[in-house]
Amino acid sequence: MHFTLQPVKDDGFVDREELLEEMISELMDIKSTTGYALYGKRRIGKRSILYL
Ligand SMILES: Nc1ncnc2c1ncn2[C@@H]1O[C@H](COP(=O)(O)OP(=O)(O)OP(=O)(O)O)[C@@H](O)[C@H]1O
Ligand SMILES: [Mg+2]
């Protein structure tokens, strides 16, 4: 079985548009006090989202 411990980047990253839009607009808003914690099953893509 092939697997990698690297996050996916650029063209390798698919979907998650809605989540990314929400996170980026919230984090760019200087008045916002909202933060994010990413949790989920192993290999679900947490680090890939943070590194994008
Ligand atoms: N948005 C995505 N598009 C395509 N492949 C993805 C995506 N997110 C994750 N993957 C695939 O899943 C793998 C694991 O992603 P990532 O390392 O980001 O997950 P993780 O939740 O941080 O994992 P771990 O539980 O090991 O810490 C990547 O190497 C990639 O193959
Ligand atoms: Mg991880």
Domains in the chain: boundaries:
10-51
**Shortest-distance atom of ligand 1 to CA 50:** 18
Q: What pTM value is reported for the model?
A: 0.84
Q: How many CB atoms lie within 10 A of CB 44?
A: 11
Q: What is the pLDDT of residues 4-48, one digit of tens each?
A: 788 998 888 889 999 899 999 999 999 999 999 999 999 999 999
CB 52 within 8 A of CB 27: no
Q: Evaluate: CB of 23 within 6 angstroms of ligand 1.
A: no
- Specify the pLDDT at position 2: 74
Q: Is the predicted pLDDT of residue 1 greater than 80, yes or no?
A: no
Q: Evaluate: CB of 52 within 6 angstroms of ligand 1.
A: no
CA separation (Å) from 51 to 31, 38, 45? 23, 12, 10
CB 19 within 8 A of CB 27: no
- Cα(first)–Cα(last) distance of the chain, in Å? 26
The residue behind tokens 């893509």 is 45
Report which of residues 48 and 3 the model is more confident about. Answer: 48
